[in-house]
Structure 1
Amino acid sequence: MTPYDSLPNTAFWKPAVAEADPTALESLWQPKFEISAQDLILTAGSCFAQNIGRQLRSRGLRWYESETPPADLPRSQHEQNGYGLFSFRTGNIYTAPLLLQWVQWALGTRKPDSEVWQADDRFHDPFRPSISVDGFPSAEEVLATRQRTLEAMLAAIRKATLFIFTPGLTEAWVNCATSAVYPACPGTVKGRFDPERHEARIFGYADCRDALDKTLELLWSVNPGLKILLTVSPVPITATISGKHVLAANFQTKNTLRTVVGEIADQYGRVDYFPSFELIGNPCSGARYFAQNGRTITEQGIDAVMRHFFKATGSGSTTQCVPTGEIICEDELLEYYAPLP
């Protein structure tokens, strides 16, 4: 007898994955705590997190949006102005250090950055460059609007019962003088790149782990009962500044994030891990969960992930397939800089 003789089928690749029937993966995730229709849910993170928020809202769960659009803003412009994408009007939060920065600003443990970018007579927020189609009329309005977001963010954190965070990147750009983390390289979405002021950072395991640990400590300081659900975006990175082949850099990125969130979920009783990364990347699913470009997750893939979520939690509809709509993603803009074939 060996320790392997008593293990279930789920411990072996062949019966659990390679030769599994369609229902076999239903046991992949067994929620650590209850998630129900009564939970007030916040979502934040990378582009893939936009899908999660939309699906939660469309399938009957209490997804919370901390800032509602102005009454005079046409519905067609809501998402282009940062509404309805995440629970906070922060835009995409791709990295763990960027999430920590936003939470520190919201809770007042770090002074919000005062940097503003100007282009002609319009002004833009370096830390959410995609939330306004045409920018703002003044630098003061940029900072005032961001302050409203921080206040709404804190209020939402205080009242929520579940926070879902989906990191997707470990590479980021920072301000050399202030160490403030940007969601995108200056000059790619808005602003102007300055090599004297901006530098690339590749956050390793220790950086990401430390940022998430500090974030959880801050969240629980104002809401001790807040449950945390972590997942990793299965969307591959668009480009890398690391000097490595983008395929190698992508796997290093995702493996770093997966290790960090997995260990944190194992450590804390109030934290769980949801395997969207594994459900999409399962090699036995073939390529049907990726579009032709090998990056975009298909409607079928998103539906598979969310069906798994609702099946495991017993909340929301498991039969309704909700179209995801347009995804706002600064990272995708880096495709513009790729050399022509």
Structure 2
Amino acid sequence: MRQISARHAVRNLRSIGEFAQWSFRDENSDSEGFESTRGDMAAGRVFREFTPNITPKFTLGTDAAVFTSGSCFAREIEFALHSLGKTVLSWSPEEKLLGPDTFNRYNTFSVINDFRLADAGSYDEDLIWETPLGWIDYSSNGVYPSREELVAARKSSIEIHKRISQADVFVLTLGLVETWYDIKADTYLNFTPSEVLSSNLSRFECRVTDYDENVLAAKYLIKFLRDKFNPNLKVIITVSPVPLLVSFTGQDIVQANTFSKATLRAVAQKIEEEDELVDYFPSYEIVTMSDPNKAWLPDYRHVRRETVSRIMQTFIEHYLK
């Protein structure tokens, strides 16, 4: 429970004024419950080109070095920051061996795996599978034409993840709660082992991780990074707006996706509230509360480039100054 004294609650309300109110009833409100809006009230801002009121805990300076990790939305952050001349340690177009999709991590547990490997400086080749598509490590991302190329890519990824020690800030994008687990290897996977699943049903299981598990994982990750690499590391948490592609829960995917995003948004709030060096950046709200036809491509799964640019400009204005 987060407890706020009455004095502090009133101060919070007054400090941001109309940003704290959705709408209000007045003589123009109709009998069916329609309410009015004015100024900065939410009803006049959402489902347009929406940007929340943001009060950062900290700023990073214009020359801050950034390391991002997480779902595909993290790649959008990297592209945008790199194009603006910012220092991005996690991936940039200069990387020759690894494409950007190589670093997509769809759950916090697979992000933890990357940094554990970086700390150990080694790679377990038992995670490699030969499939009809090519060579795959389901704890990572990507398909390779040979085992040797996959191993080389994973070792290169390990070296890149060691750069977290040079970062001023770690931007973690939370993606999904629906995961796959390799029982034999005793490890979470990054994505569904589709190509080998049918012949190895006893080796894998689908795990729908809950709020408590994801809070513990996020806390563990942040502590691990500070203990092993960078004791002064600041963290900015975001939640990817990109929905599930498929769900194995038996629910309508819209319901499954709502549960996933609601859980991770609550996780981000919890972590942010308990750590002065962790902040939450509302990229999720910027996308989902904007005009959907302007925020999304026609699949309502991928965010339009213009919206990504607006998000990153907002990020830079608030943090990199």
Q: What is aligned with 2:103?
A: 91
User: Partners in 1 of 2:67 and 2:153 — Cα distance?
Assistant: 20
- How far apart are residue 185 of structure 1 and its match? 1.0
Do the aligned partners of 1:66 and 1:153 also contact (CA within 8 Å) in 2?
no
1:113 touches 1:180 (CA, 8 Å); kept in 2?
Answer: no
Amino acid at match of 2:145: G
Instruction: Pick one of 48, 57, 77 that aligns with 1:32.
Output: 57
- Aligned mates of 1:22, 1:203 — CA distance in 2: 31
DSSP-derived class of the 1:165 partner: strand
CA distance in structure 1 between the partners assigned to 2:46 and 2:248 by the alignment: 41
Q: Does 1:135 find its partner at 2:145?
A: yes
The CA deviation at 1:306 is 1.6
Contact 1:104 1:110 in 2 (8 A): no
DSSP 3-state at the match of 1:272: strand
Aligned to 1:182: 189
Q: Gaps (5+ residues) in structure 2?
A: 1-6, 24-39
Per-residue CA deviation, residues 170-193 of structure 1 (Å, 9 max, x unaligned), is: 111111222312221112xx5454
Question: Match of 1:288, SS?
Answer: helix
- 1:289: Cα distance to partner? 0.5
Task: Show the counterpart of 1:164.
Answer: 171
Q: Whole-Å Cα distance in 1 between the matches of residues 184 and 46 of structure 2?
A: 55
Superposed CA offset, 1:31-63 (max 9, x none): 211122211111111111111110001012111
Cα distance in 2 for residues equivalent to 1:240 and 1:120: 23
Deviates more, 1:102-111 or 1:161-170: 102-111
What is the one-letter code of the residue matched to 1:126?
Answer: Y
Give 2:225's aligned residue: 219
The alpha carbon displacement at 1:201 in A equals 0.8
Shift of 1:219: 0.4
Q: TM-score, normalised by structure 1?
A: 0.76
User: Unaligned stretches of 5+ in structure 1?
Assistant: 71-80, 316-341
Distance 1:96 1:298 in 2: 25
The separation in 2 between residues aligned to 1:252 and 1:22, in whole angstroms, is 22
Give yes or no for contact 1:242–1:249 (8 Å, CA) kept in 2: yes
Worse-matched range after superposition: 298-307 or 207-216: 298-307
Change (3 A) 1:114 1:296: same
1:11 paired residue number:
20
Which residue pairs with 1:205 in the alignment? 211
Q: Distance in 1 between matches of 2:284 and 2:155?
A: 33
**CA shift for structure 1 position 268:** 0.5
- CA–CA separation in structure 2 for the residues paired with 1:269 and 1:167: 19
User: Cα offset for 1:128?
Assistant: 2.5
Q: Describe the shift of the 1:277–1:210 C-alpha distance in structure 2 as closer, same or farther (beyond 3 A).
A: same
| Cα deviations by residue, 1:247-287 (Å, 9 ceiling, x for unpaired) | 111110001000001110111111111000011111x6353
Q: Partner of 1:231: helix, strand, or coil? A: strand
Q: Percent identity?
A: 24
User: Which residue of structure 1 aligns with residue 159 of structure 2?
Assistant: 151
2:141 and 2:288 mapped to 1: Cα distance? 30
Residue in 2 that maps onto 1:247:
254
Cα 1:60/1:111, change in 2 over 3 Å: closer
Do 1:232 and 1:254's aligned partners in 2 also have CA atoms closer than 8 Å?
Answer: yes
| Kept in 1: contact 2:66–2:90 (CA 8 A) | no
Q: Deviation digits for residues 44-94 of structure 1, max 9, x if unmatched?
A: 111111111100010121112468544xxxxxxxxxx633x27xxx52111
Aligned equivalents of 2:137, 2:47: Cα separation in 1: 46
Q: 1:184 to 1:4 in 2, by over 3 A?
A: same
Which of the numbers 76, 82, 86 marks the counterpart of 2:98?
82
Partner residue in 2 for 1:307: 313
Does the CA-based 8 Å contact 2:171-2:236 persist in structure 1?
yes
Q: Which residue of 1 aligns with 2:77?
A: 52
8 Å Cα contact 2:60-2:168 kept in structure 1: no
Aligned residue among 90, 102, 105 for 2:117: 105
- Which whole-Å CA distance do the structure 1 matches of 2:208 and 2:90 have between them? 31
Structure of higher CA gyration radius:
2
Cα offset for 1:127? 2.2
CA deviations over 1:282-315 (Å, ceiling 9, x no partner): 1x63532112222121123212212221222354
Distance 1:235 1:42, change over 3 A: same
The alpha-carbon distance between structure 1 residues 262 and 142, as it changes in their structure 2 partners (threshold 3 A), is same
Find the aligned partners of 1:21 and 1:197 in 2 and give their Cα distance.
Answer: 46
Seen in structure 2, the aligned counterparts of structure 1 residues 171 and 182 have a Cα distance that, compared at 3 Å, is: same
| Conserved? CA contact 2:182–2:205, under 8 Å | yes
Paired residue for 1:77?
A: none
TM-score, normalised with respect to structure 2: 0.81
- Counterpart pick for 1:297 among 295, 299, 303: 303
The Cα of 1:230 is off from its aligned counterpart by 0.5
8 Å Cα contact 2:59/2:318 also seen in 1? no
